[in-house]
Amino acid sequence: MLKQLEAKLTAWGMDWMQFKLFTQHMTGVSHDAMHVVGGVVAQIALAALFRSSLARVWPWAAILVIELVNEWNDLHVEKWPDPGQQWGEGAKDLALTMILPTLLLILARWAPGLFARNR
């Protein structure tokens, strides 16, 4: 049973990896830029979909969880010759994904006037 679950997770992980590569090559957007754009677009989309505010922590936290799962998958599906380099790339991906969502969360919470219309 455990081996079947592991096989299904590995197959899903490979499919996810192929989807990411397809998207990267189809759009011409670099791997790093996809993390930057993807994080902020997903945060805004989740907040809009659930009619929430960017000032609430949960859209940010959801992006963090999604990115951690993505990086866990990368570590288990990809096998680099140098583990330190692979871990470093994962840390960079995490930072790139979270920097703009973190900035949006901080600004929406502590400087909400930046998001309001002037009357």
Q: What is the pLDDT of residues 6-24, one digit of tens each?
A: 677 677 777 878 888 888 8
Q: What pTM was computed for the model? A: 0.83
Query: What pLDDT score does 65 carry?
Result: 97
pLDDT, tens only, 35-94: 999 999 999 999 999 999 999 999 999 999 999 999 998 888 888 889 899 999 999 999
Question: In sequence order, what E strands does the chain have?
Answer: none
Question: 105: exposed, middle or buried (C-beta count within 10 Å: 0-12, 13-18, 19+)?
Answer: buried
> Within 10 A of 12 (CB to CB), how many other CB atoms are there?
12
Query: What pLDDT score does 117 carry?
Result: 77
Q: What is the mean pLDDT of the chain?
A: 89
